[in-house]
């Protein structure tokens, strides 16, 4: 098991280094931030331009810039934001809680809705309820996030006025006060549901397939022959075994939600890392873009690593292969 863990950690580190090189190189191909940040009065003044490049370390060779970036990134030091004139680390520490809250809320919704619907759909196979669940699953996986978000805003925030349309309310940091919890939950409902919709559909299909396979197994049929009630057979025996692949997928989905919230954060003006990334891209802000992508990538790799290790403990066949 130790060899398996060491190998997985090594693969995760190599993936992170490769990600850092691709991100750093790609960002530098998008334009010259030193030229972008020049004042209008000095737009054609080459001496001011060269001084601007030197101030941000952009006059050094590419490989030197990358090495300096890599060494500092280990300490989560991504330099100074070109536009905010603040350390990117400070901005990240302000934005990460919002993204994590949104991802956790989306994961809870995805598992809380997808698992019961998948199990019920399998138990009521080929009924009207099963067909409705299948239609919902197809819609959830096919509908564009931005369109679903806009429709929900129009209906629930605009037409009915039940929920807020944007922002995080008066919530800042990691932990709300008791008085902030209702307001925080109200602001979370729409973005969390939109973020989780595709995952709900995927978990529902996965739970249904796993449950159908378990229901056809010998031990479930034997439990039914012994006279156990359907409720005990389904929820105590069958569902427990059907949830193993669902839990694995749920862990990977959490990592995906930490990285896949850019569209949702932009539409709902959610002050997270995704919105920070877009702001950096629009302003050619190298450090901000690099910091946002590297933190998101590291979170995904770390979550996937933890899931792999736990799965290796749960199933010896995984670590043996």
Domain spans of the chain, in order of start: 2-74, 91-315
Q: Dig out the tokens for 165 from the structure.
A: 């349309």
Q: Dig out the tokens for 97 from the structure.
A: 């809680």
Residues of the chain above pLDDT 70, percent? 80
Residue 229's beta-bridge partner residues?
Answer: none
Sort residue 143 into left (φ over 0), alpha (ψ -120 to 50) or beta: beta
Going from the C-alpha of 228 to that of each of 179, 211, 218, 235, the distances in angstroms are 47, 18, 14, 12
Label residue 311 by pLDDT band (50, 70, 90).
low
Average pLDDT of the chain? 79
Which of 141-150, 160-169, 196-205, 308-317 is the least confident region? 308-317
40-72: pLDDT as tens digits: 666 666 677 777 777 767 777 878 888 888 888
Which of 27-31, 38-42, 191-195, 281-285 is the least confident region? 38-42
Residue 6 clears pLDDT 60, i.e. is over it: yes
For 143, other C-beta atoms within 10 Å of its C-beta total: 15
Label residue 88 by pLDDT band (50, 70, 90).
confident
Backbone dihedral angles phi then psi of residue 274, each to the nearest 5 degrees: -60, -45
- What's residue 296's pLDDT? 82
Label residue 146 by pLDDT band (50, 70, 90).
confident
18-42: pLDDT as tens digits: 888 888 888 777 766 666 666 666 6
Query: Is the CATH code 3.40.109.10 the one for domain 91-315?
Result: no
- What's residue 115's pLDDT? 84
Label residue 157 by pLDDT band (50, 70, 90).
confident
Which of 44-48, 88-92, 113-117, 191-195 is the least confident region? 44-48
- What's residue 312's pLDDT? 65
User: How would you class 106 by CB atoms within 10 Å of its CB: exposed for 0-12, middle for 13-18, buried for 19 or more?
Assistant: buried
Q: What is the mean pLDDT of residues 112-117?
A: 86
- What's residue 120's pLDDT? 83
- What's residue 239's pLDDT? 67
171-189: pLDDT as tens digits: 777 777 787 788 888 888 8
Going by C-alpha positions, the residue among 247, 241, 147, 254 that lies closest to residue 196 is 254
DSSP state, residue 70: H
Task: Please give the residue that has the higher pLDDT: either 257 or 264.
Answer: 264
Residue 101 clears pLDDT 70, i.e. is over it: yes
Where are the alpha helices (H) located in 216-261, listed in sequence order? 218-225, 230-232, 239-259
Residue with tokens 């990334």: 277
CB 28 within 8 A of CB 286: yes
Q: What angle do CA 267, 269, 273 make, to 5 degrees?
A: 100
Label residue 198 by pLDDT band (50, 70, 90).
confident
Q: What is the mean pLDDT of residues 80-92?
A: 82
């Amino acid at each position: 098991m130790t060899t398996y863990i060491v190998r997985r950690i090594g693969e995760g580190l190599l993936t992170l280094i490769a990600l850092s090189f691709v991100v750093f190189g790609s960002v530098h191909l998008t334009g010259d931030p030193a030229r972008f940040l020049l004042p209008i009065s000095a737009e054609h003044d080459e001496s001011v331009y060269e001084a601007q490049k030197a101030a941000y370390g952009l006059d050094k060779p590419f490989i030197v810039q990358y090495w300096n970036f890599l060494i500092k990134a280990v300490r989560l030091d991504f330099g100074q934001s070109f536009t905010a004139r603040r350390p990117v680390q400070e901005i990240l520490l302000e934005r990460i809680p919002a993204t994590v809250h949104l991802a956790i809320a989306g994961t809870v919704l995805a598992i809380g809705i997808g698992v019961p619907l998948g199990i019920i759909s399998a138990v009521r196979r080929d009924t009207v309820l099963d067909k409705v669940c299948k239609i919902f699953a197809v819609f959830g996986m096919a509908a564009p996030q931005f369109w679903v978000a806009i429709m929900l805003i129009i209906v629930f925030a605009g037409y009915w006025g039940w929920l807020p349309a944007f922002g995080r309310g008066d919530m800042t940091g990691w932990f709300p006060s008791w008085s902030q919890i209702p307001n925080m939950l109200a602001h979370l409902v729409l973005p969390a549901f939109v973020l989780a919709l595709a995952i709900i559909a995927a978990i529902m299909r996965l739970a249904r397939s796993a449950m159908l396979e378990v229901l056809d197994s010998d031990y479930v049929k034997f439990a039914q022959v012994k006279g156990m009630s359907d409720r005990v057979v389904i929820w105590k025996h069958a569902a427990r075994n059907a949830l193993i692949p669902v839990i694995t997928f749920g862990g990977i989905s959490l990592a995906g939600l930490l990285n896949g919230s850019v569209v949702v954060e932009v539409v709902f003006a959610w002050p997270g890392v995704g919105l920070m990334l877009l702001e950096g891209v629009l302003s050619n802000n190298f450090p901000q873009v690099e910091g946002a992508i590297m933190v998101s990538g590291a979170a995904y790799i770390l979550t996937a690593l933890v899931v792999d290790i736990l799965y290796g403990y749960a199933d010896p066949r995984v670590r043996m292969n």
